[in-house]
Amino acid sequence: MTSPAQPLRHRVEEWVEQIHDQLVGALERLDGSGTFERDRWQRPGGGGGVTAILSDGALFEQAGVNRSAVWGEFGDAALARLGGTDREFYATGVSLVLHPRSPMVPTIHANFRYFERGSDAWFGGGSDLTPYYPYESDARHFHSTWKRACDAHDTLYYPRFKKWCDEYFFLPHRGEMRGVGGIFFDELRGDLEATFAFVRDCGAAFMPSYEPIARRRRDERHGEQERAFQLYRRGRYVEFNLLYDRGTSFGLATNGRTESILMSLPPLARWQYGWAPAPDSREEAALRFFQPRDWAR
Amino acid sequence: MTSPAQPLRHRVEEWVEQIHDQLVGALERLDGSGTFERDRWQRPGGGGGVTAILSDGALFEQAGVNRSAVWGEFGDAALARLGGTDREFYATGVSLVLHPRSPMVPTIHANFRYFERGSDAWFGGGSDLTPYYPYESDARHFHSTWKRACDAHDTLYYPRFKKWCDEYFFLPHRGEMRGVGGIFFDELRGDLEATFAFVRDCGAAFMPSYEPIARRRRDERHGEQERAFQLYRRGRYVEFNLLYDRGTSFGLATNGRTESILMSLPPLARWQYGWAPAPDSREEAALRFFQPRDWAR
């Protein structure tokens, strides 16, 4: 995998398969009860992937980890969205969304991908945390982990990718952040070998960024009020993914595999007209908590 | 209200207020237990509206009936979506979405609206039925009622608006209809007085189109399996409204009142990776049922 003699796309693809397996294994151990079902699929235009889903686990109400390597020619819909004239593309990546059962454990998303289009090539990715209840130490741990992973490669990465994440995971129609952010980057070119090394380190940072949070929150007490707030906030997750997420809208508009794309949606979500938190409640504190802040300080 | 001496927009606005009140009253009586809360709001740029919501009723898990009359100048976001150069607009209308508690009672949507932009003016609207379980007689009753309302004005209306509805309420990423359709029309100009008379008759046809269905299905037996299927299918309703509904995306992109726009979303919805109905089940029959058909024959 590490021999630079092989074309980059093959080495990235191999890494994607490895990190997918590692994440599935690590998340299954973290859950402690559920098991992932692996669903292997082919893409008619070229390539395919594996969607691994764990449902009704001890920790995870639903956990999905996708990997894919697809290639072919962009159709007119994709070209209209992307601009440019190059139709030939290759893309490989891994993406995951974890919906814990307990409202005290944050939902999390991560995604790392490599793209080639004509003679152009780049990496994209990131990870963002969506807590329901506000624990400062969780947000600090999460951001510090990603800052360390970034700083090892370029000290400009974290401030830039953290800001990008805050801007990206924002719901303008609500005037709300999706959660406490993390890092987000796209079209990262430069020295592709060095960028690939950075992306591999990001993959390795995922479990350390999340596992300690999940372990210390999974047994926190909660009741119906916390569950109702979690389901309500999951509604925002649905709104973001269907209204704004670029990967989702691009995937659906270009005949991507719907079930794999929409595994990001929560197993259960609710909406309630005009809901507002009670004054001085933990829910009110939570909504104040989801603001861009310097968490890694 | 019917004096043609008054400008059309004022008479439409008055009708919108009347039909809103009538629908709220009729739906409250049909529910038999819940009451609507009326939430009056102002639009900073001009105008305002009333959102009436009934929650946790006997028949309706959530019922929302909006009315609004708004005016002002389109911002750049609206102009980019609409094209053209005229910024001045006036819009008034009523819209409703009813999410019944029982999976045996269909969800329903209706919307009637009047637009002015510069010197141009038109009506739009329609109503579509989204059953969970397949009852042919319900689809036939619903379509026949709308066909009668259309035929009284123009026998070309129903076939045209029925087809338009089938095309509009379609989820391309699922290859699925939202339900059994109904009628949909937009930019209906022509003789605006005659069109207004048609729209008024549509408003009057709403309760007759739905009430008999709700009354004969509300006491049908159902259990956990039917409830699970209802929540799963409500996920499709969320997908349609957030991914494709023009009113929703236009409203959210132009700083419309979010809570009033998204009252269309169900109180509870679920997603399940790779779900498929059991062979020969009622759920399988339901999915086969949601196809464009000549229901009013």
Q: What is the pLDDT of residues B200-229, one digit of tens each?
A: 999 999 999 999 999 999 999 999 999 999
Percent of chain B topping pLDDT 70 = 98
Contacting residues of B for A271, CB less than 8 Å apart? 262, 265-267
Residue A145 is which amino acid?
T
Q: Inform me whether the pLDDT recorded for B1 exceeds 50.
A: no
Which pLDDT band, with edges at 50, 70 and 90, does A9 fall under? Answer: very high
- Write the CA distances from B290 to A98, B129, B172, B239, B293, integer angstroms: 32, 10, 14, 16, 9
Catalogue the active-site residues of A: 109
| Among B10, B20, B99, B109, the one annotated catalytic | B109
The answer to whether A94 touches A50, Cβ cutoff 8 Å, is no
CATH number at residue A142: 3.40.1500.10
Q: Tell me the shortest Cα–Cα distance from B248 to chain A, in angstroms.
A: 10
Angle between helices A192-217 and A8-31 (to 10 degrees): 10
- pLDDT at residue A2 above 80? no
Of B252, B267, B272, the CB nearest to A270: B267
- The verdict on residue B1 lying in a domain is no
Min CA distance, B51 vs chain A (Å)?
10
Report if residue A2 sits inside a domain. no
pTM of the full structure: 0.96
Yes or no, beta carbons of A273 and B266 under 8 Å apart? no
pLDDT at B30 over 80: yes
Name chain B contacts of A243, Cβ cutoff 8 Å.
Answer: 242, 249, 252
* Span A276-280, average pLDDT: 96
Measure the CA–CA gap between A235 and B283, rounded to whole angstroms: 25
Kindly list the residues from chain B whose CB atom is less than 8 angstroms away from the CB atom of residue A66.
none
Whole-Å CA distances, B32 to B56, B58, B64:
11, 7, 16
Rounded to two decimals, the ipTM of the complex is 0.95
Predicted local distance difference test score (pLDDT) of residue A3: 56
Is the residue at A297 inside a domain? no
Is A1 among the domain residues? no
Residue B102, pLDDT above cutoff 50? yes
Quick one: pLDDT at residue A83?
A: 87
**Of B51, B174, B238, Cβ closest to residue A238:** B238
| Maximal CA-CA distance, chain B | 62
- Domain range for A91 is 8-289
List CB contacts (< 8 A) between B172 and chain A. 252
Is residue B296 domain-resident? no
pLDDT higher at B291 or A105? A105
**Residue B295 forms part of a structural domain:** no
* Predicted pLDDT of residue B5: 62
H-run or E-run covering A181: strand A181-188
Q: What is the mean pLDDT of residues B112-120?
A: 94
Residue A216 has pLDDT above 50, yes or no: yes
Partner-chain contact B231 A268, CB within 8 Å? yes
Is residue B171 less than 8 Å (CB to CB) from chain A? Answer: no
Q: How confident is the model at residue A81 (pLDDT cuts 50, 70, 90)?
A: confident
- Given this model, what pLDDT does residue A76 score? 87
Q: Give the containing element (helix H, strand E) for A193.
A: helix A192-217
Q: How far is B185 from chain A (nearest CA, A)?
A: 24
Burial class of residue B297, CB neighbours in 10 A (0-12, 13-18, 19+): exposed
Is the CB of A55 less than 8 angstroms away from the CB of B272? yes
Range from A74-78, A285-289, B37-41 carrying the lowest mean pLDDT? A74-78
Phi then psi dihedrals of residue B82, to 5 deg: -90, -25
- Is B269's CB within 8 Å of A270's CB? yes
Mean pLDDT, chain B, integer: 95
Choose the closest CB to A273 out of B252, B259, B270.
B259
Does residue A295 lie in a domain region?
no
B259 inside 8 A of chain A by CB? yes
Q: Is A195 helix (H, G, I), strand (E, B) or coil?
A: helix
Cβ neighbours of residue B250 under 8 Å, at least 6 residues apart?
B78, B81, B256
pLDDT mean across residues, chain A:
95
Give me the numbers of helices (H) and strands (E) for chain A, helices first please.
Answer: 9, 10
Judged by a CB distance cut-off of 8 A, whether residue B88 touches chain A is: no
Closest to B296 (Cα-Cα) out of B183, B202, B133, B188: B183
For residue B272, being part of any structural domain is answered with yes
Instruction: Answer yes or no: are the C-beta atoms of B46 and B72 closer than 8 Å.
Output: yes
Give the separation between CA B115 and CA B87, rounded to whole angstroms.
Answer: 13
Active site residue B153: no
Residue-level pLDDT at A1:
46
Q: Which whole number is the average pLDDT over A122-136?
A: 97
What number is the average pLDDT over the span B14-30? 98
Closest-CA residue of chain A to B40: A274
Domain count, chain A: 1
